[in-house]
Structure 1
Amino acid sequence: MADSTITTTRRGALRTAGLAIGGTALVGHAAAAPAASNGKLVFTYDDGPTDDYTQAYRKAHRKEGVPGCSAVPSASVGTKGSLDAARLRKLEDAGWEIMSHSVHHRALTNVAVTSDVSPGDETLRVETNLHGKLPGDELLVSDGSTSATVTVAGKGSDDEGKYLELESNVGTSFSASDGVTERYTDEILRSALGKSKRQLEGYGVTVTNIVMPYGGYGPRTQELVDEYYTAVANGGLAIDGRGQIQKPDELTLPHLSRAMFRQGKMTETELGTFLDSVADEDALGILGGHSWWRERLPASRIRTAIRMAKDRDIDIVTLRDALSETNAAKTTTTGTTATKGTATKTTTGGTNGARAAGTNTTDGVAAGAEKTRTAGETTNGTGQPGFGVVSALVGVGSAAAWKLRKK
């Protein structure tokens, strides 16, 4: 479909309906009940390169008549080799979803400190020095009981491994055997989550979901993320980890699992097995990759994956629509959004609840009992809707005319 033939757009439909998006709530009509299907498949592409438009969209998704999702670092918009605001809007007009990918593509996770730390040290030996990419960033070093805030001056590596350079000494002793980690401060984490959403929406698109850069999803990020987003497309904490499908009765927000499908990461046979599981379980599957030229994910492979999904009668949708339709289906089946089996949203946070099961607690925040939010409830202190109003939060009218879908 040529761009000039698109007459119904997401933004136009929302303006016509008089709806507001970007706050903590929406007022809208209930989504129509979706038709029976063999599961739903979401394609996500990271980093927001122009290739998302010129390759993944124009040479694959548009030709196959199905949408995708572009996860974009907000600071990169309009820079060399990256999508600009006009193309973000064109993608959304074509039925795509624009997701956050943080502001500066920081790794929003904890990193292990690998050597003992003395008060006078001006370097930290670390498992990976990703947190040294932006001088001036503040990091919290903690063993769970003692913490210190340090400022990044740079990064490096030598025969002993990787390290972070600091603007001044640590000022505190830490023993690596105590499980010391370093992470971004809350101020930076909140900026990476909230500012990226605001900046992207400032370009005229709607942002309700996020893909974590480098797959980094630390305990504190898990506690903060659902203040800003409905789902983390590559969270993978609520079920069996990365690369899993989400069965309807196991869908736990915000944590979702994603499988990378580039050549060398997933064979065509493995892709077929993944898609068979989606169809057999009427589940949600998320495929991820990078559309830039270095990635072994050419348009031909994307089209192959799309056609394999079509052969199995799997609906290819955006994540926003997948969640909206899943919620609508549950509402239709049960007659209520708060019955047993309805998708839940697990919340975590400081003294209000524990972080997701299986994660560590080395960021200085004590773990508590798990708190699960069911339909109709809101998060503590934020007023953010629970899963009961996901159909309003994640989009309006999942069967709207703008959706590109072929079966």
Structure 2
Amino acid sequence: MKSARGPRCLVPVLALVLSFLVLPGRLCQAGMVSLVFDDGLSSVYDYAFPVLANHGLPATVGIIADRVDAGDPNFMDAKQLRELEDAGWEIASHSLTHKRPIDIPKFYAEEKCLQLNPVAGTKSLYEGKYTYGELAGLVENGRELQERDSGRLVKNEPGSYYFDELIGEVIVHPFDPQSVNRQQIRAVSYERELEASQKELTRLGFAVSTYITPHNYWTPEMSELSKRFYAQVANGGDTFNRKGSTDRFWLKRFVVHTDDTAEAIIALVKEHAIREDGWVIFCLHGIGSDLGWEPWDAAKLDQLADFLKEKGVPVVPVDKGTKLWVEGRGKP
């Protein structure tokens, strides 16, 4: 004769477990969430920072190094970034100039010297063809040249250049014309993007250990190369990270689009962080304004933050998340 006591005694236990997961104010026994804001847009400081601070939640911000303190009001400056870092945010590299490795030379060894010829009728300008789709920058004997918007501006500024993407031609006004004769002007590679962006942010006083891939574009060879400079890398993929099978140099992120509702993003948290015990990383850009690619409304962010706080879902920057998830060090 089967005992009825065994199955019945499970009912209170199951009820307790379910209430622990879903009742307001209960801590979530599940995975965790990271919020990453790409590009370092000023709207993140103006709108996302206050929203998350109100809920006591940190985030990661991916910074394009050459746009810090460039005088562009659309991007955060070093003072604003320090305020974020002091509040528990992580400052990560989002490259030097926001290029993809497929569009520029990949390695230092591929930084070929430009073959330049004098521009007719000038004494200081040189021109030449450039074979890649984009130009991340030029270095003259170790010194960075400044990009300008037209050849006319380059004419009167030593140490500058203009790249005409339509015809693949670059006009250069070198610091020293002898650099052209000595073939000392090189195009920036992706390896330099990785290393120089970290060095620049470190020079500004930020502890940078995370790389956020521009355009969510990544390759196996760049993943391997990144290990020389960073402790972890976040990409795209529109999926979550599973315990025990996470590649710290290829962390997956869900991209948040302008038309995505807060409910849709919350549903991803419920399914993958709470139900499947995963690490969900979100890729966001501008907040509360029209700046940047796929900006998101600040009210939606507030709704998401309120849900995360209410349910007790651990919210961590990417660097701390990697220590917890991959290294098993510490607690959320």
Normalising by structure 2, report the TM-score.
0.64
| Partner SS state of residue 258, structure 1 | strand
CA 213–271 in structure 1, closer or farther in 2 if over 3 Å, else same: same
Give the alignment of 1:53-64 within 5 angstroms: 53-58=45-50, 60-64=51-55
Query: Which AA in structure 2 matches 1:262?
Result: H
Matched with 2:302 is: 303
Cα distance in 2 for partners of 1:215, 1:167 equals 27
Q: Secondary structure at the match of 2:307?
A: helix
How many residues get paired? 242
- Asked if the contact 1:41–1:314 (Cα under 8 Å) also holds between the matched residues in 2, the reply is yes
Give the residue type in structure 2 aligned to 1:305.
Answer: L
CA offset at residue 92 of structure 1?
0.8
CA distance in 2, matches of 1:46, 1:204: 20
Matches within 5 A, 1:334-349: none
Contact 2:284–2:295 (CA<8 Å) still a contact in 1? no
Distance 1:186 1:305, change over 3 A: farther
| DSSP 3-state at the match of 1:48 | coil
CA displacement, residues 34-63 of structure 1 (integer Å, 9 cap, x when unaligned): x984111000111112222121102x1111
Q: Which residue of 1 aligns with 2:64?
A: 73
Are 2:80 and 1:87 equivalent residues in the alignment?
yes
Equivalent residue number for residue 165 of structure 1? 168
Q: What is the distance in 1 between the residues matched to 2:295 and 2:67?
A: 22
Structure 2 letter corresponding to 1:286:
I
Task: Show the counterpart of 1:52.
Answer: 44
- Determine if contact 2:40/2:61 at 8 Å carries over to the other structure: yes
CA contact (8 A) 1:208 1:230 kept: yes
- What SS class does the counterpart of residue 250 from structure 1 fall into? coil
Q: Which residue of 1 aligns with 2:269?
A: 275
The one-letter code sitting in structure 1 at the alignment partner of 2:312 is D
Q: Render the CA deviation track for 1:85-140: whole Å, top value 9, x for unaligned.
A: 222211111000000011112223358xxxxxxxxx9586x9xx5x2575789xxx
Q: Decide whether the 8 Å contact of 1:40 with 1:315 is kept in 2.
A: yes
Alignment of 1:154-303 (within 5 A): 154-156=164-166, 165-166=168-169, 188-234=189-235, 236=236, 242-264=237-259, 266-276=260-270, 277-291=272-286, 293-294=289-290, 295-303=294-302
Residues 122 and 94 (structure 1), Cα distance of their counterparts in 2 relative to 1, 3 Å cut: closer
Give deviations 1:8-52, integer Å, cap 9, x for gaps.
xxxxxxxxxxxxxxxxxxxxxxxxxxx984111000111112222
Q: Which residue of 2 aligns with 1:160?
A: none
Give ranges in structure 2 of 5+ residues lacking alignment.
1-26, 105-127, 141-160, 172-185
- Is the alpha carbon distance of 1:224 and 1:202 closer, same or farther for their aligned partners in structure 2, counting shifts above 3 Å? same
Taking a change above 3 Å as real, the CA distance of residues 245 and 313 of structure 1, as seen in their structure-2 partners, is same
User: Is the contact between residue 132 and residue 153 of structure 1 (CA under 8 Å) also seen in structure 2?
Assistant: yes
Deviations 1:130-177 (A, max 9, x none): x2575789xxxxxxxxxxxxx994212xxxxxxx51459xxxxxxxxx
Partner of 2:157: none
What amino acid does structure 2 have at the position aligned with 1:317?
V
Q: Give the whole-Å Cα distance in 1 for the aligned partners of 2:204 and 2:168.
A: 36
- Mapped to 1, the partners of 2:223 and 2:66 lie a distance apart of 22
Matched to 1:245, the amino acid is: F
Q: How large is the Cα RMSD of the aligned pairs?
A: 3.1
2:258 alignment partner, SS class: coil
Alignment of 1:108-127 (within 5 A): 108-109=101-102
For residue 40 of structure 2, give the secondary structure of its aligned residue in structure 1: coil
Cα distance in 2 for residues equivalent to 1:102 and 1:68: 18
Q: Does structure 2 conserve the Cα–Cα contact (< 8 Å) formed by 1:152 and 1:165?
A: no
Aligned to 2:320: 321
Return the offset for 1:75. 0.9
Deviation at 1:223, TM superposition (A): 2.9
Residues 37 and 196 of structure 1, relative CA distance in 2, 3 Å threshold: farther
Which AA in structure 2 matches 1:290?
H
Q: Which residue of 1 aligns with 2:32?
A: 40
Name the structure 2 match of 1:347: none
Shift of 1:194: 0.9
Structure 2 counterpart of 1:95, which letter? Answer: G
Once residues 188 and 240 of structure 2 are traced to their aligned partners in structure 1, the CA distance between those partners, rounded to angstroms, is 33
Residue type matched to 1:272 in 2?
I
Match of 2:156 in 1: none
What is the CA–CA distance in structure 1 between the aligned matches of 2:168 and 2:187, rounded to whole Å?
21
Q: Deviations over 1:183-225 (max 9, x none)?
A: xx99621211011111111122211111111222244422311
TM-score (norm 1): 0.53
- The answer as to whether partners of 2:138 and 2:187 remain within 8 angstroms in 1 is no
SS, match of residue 244 in structure 2? helix
Amino acid at match of 2:302: R
1:186–1:155: structure 2 CA closer, same or farther, 3 Å change rule?
Answer: closer
**Residue 263 (structure 1) shift:** 2.7
* Partner of residue 359, structure 1: none
The residue identity in structure 2 corresponding to 1:52 is: V
1:134, 1:154 within 8 Å by CA — same for their partners in 2? no
